[in-house]
Amino acid sequence: MIAALIMTWMGTIYVFSSQSYDQQNLRPWLKSRIPKEWTHYFKDVKFTYEGTMINVRQNGVSELVEFVIRKLAHVVEYAFFGLLVYLLLNLLLKKRPFLVFMITMSLCLIFAAADEYHQRFVFSRTPKMGDIIIDGVGVVIGASLAAAIVAIRRRIRANKE
């Protein structure tokens, strides 16, 4: 069951990364929903991420909000992926949490790197090393959550015996 969920989730990630930027562009939708007053509060926000300038004064708040949503999406999708992979590996390598954690990190980061490489071949998409790092943060969160769940369940079972 968990293996099927993992394969489905990997397919979902692949489908999202196969879409062009235009298919995922949130800015028109955000522009119609973000209050114009927000520009005043964020007008001085300006930074570069992997060679791309994020500049609220020049491009509006929608650019910043879209950036944050996209990066949070990386964290969430890889947190869920890390959680699932950890749970599967825990079933296979019981009572070896450090090894399970390290293998989870390795497998998920290899997939993240392959996914970013795949984006080289998708129109208007650019692979970014920073996105792999953000994916890794998600994996750490998901695998840590899974490890905590497993540890709590073990303690509860041990206390019942």
pLDDT tens string 38-90: 888 999 999 999 999 999 999 889 999 999 999 999 999 999 999 999 999 99
User: pTM, whole model, 2 decimals?
Assistant: 0.91
pLDDT at residue 124 tops 80? yes
Report pLDDT for 94. 85
Whole-Å CA distances, 44 to 25, 67, 151: 23, 16, 45
Counting the structural domains of the chain, the total is 1
Kindly state whether residue 140 falls inside one of the protein's structural domains.
Answer: yes
Kindly state whether residue 36 falls inside one of the protein's structural domains.
Answer: no
Host domain of residue 84: 2-23+71-160
Q: Among 85, 80, 116, which Cα is nearest to 100's?
A: 85
More confident residue, 95 or 19: 19
Kindly state whether residue 47 falls inside one of the protein's structural domains.
Answer: no
Kindly state whether residue 63 falls inside one of the protein's structural domains.
Answer: no
